[in-house]
Amino acid sequence: MSFVHKTYLRPRYADTDQMGIVHHAKYFEYFEIARTELLRNMGLPYSELENDGYLLPLTDCYAKFIKPVKYDKLIRIETILENCSGVRLQLSYKIFDDETGELLSEGFTKHSWVKKVNLKPTRPPNKFLEILKLK
């Protein structure tokens, strides 16, 4: 299974340190933005999943910083839905300088599907599984 989505964003001044380089913690925020947009593009906005009683807490994350992401430079985040089995979901991310195509960072996040009411692990919603079959 592989579903790829591209998200574009331009780092804000507030995201950077004194050198004009995006602070390392912001990369995970960018991953979250890209993940949210991937779900929206699939037809399942995260807000809808929450309204239906599902949550996707983070269980593991990783980022490799290859080259600095700089203030006001348009970046492209390619998000790949790598795996969805049982209660687990894994996504990978690659951040590119959109102008040059140069790889700046890569990483992953792992999540578990849980019920909002009790935070117990659960299988993904049928809507999500049906969409995956169509992709």
Note the pLDDT of residue 8: 99
Close Cβ partners of 32 (under 8 Å, ≥ 6 residues apart): none
pTM: 0.93
Note the pLDDT of residue 134: 67
**Residue tagged active-site, from 15, 17, 60, 72:** 17
Paired tokens of 12: 């804000």
Q: Taking the C-alpha atoms of 25, 81, 101 and 104 in order, what is their torsion angle to the nearest 10 degrees?
A: 20
CATH superfamily ID and name for 3-134 = Hotdog Thioesterase (3.10.129.10)
Kindly state the percentage of the chain with pLDDT values over 70.
97
Domain boundaries, the chain: 3-134
Is 17 a catalytic site residue? yes
pLDDT in tens, 35-88: 999 999 999 999 999 999 999 999 999 999 999 999 999 999 999 999 998 999
Nearest residue to 76 (alpha-carbon basis) of 109, 47, 100:
100
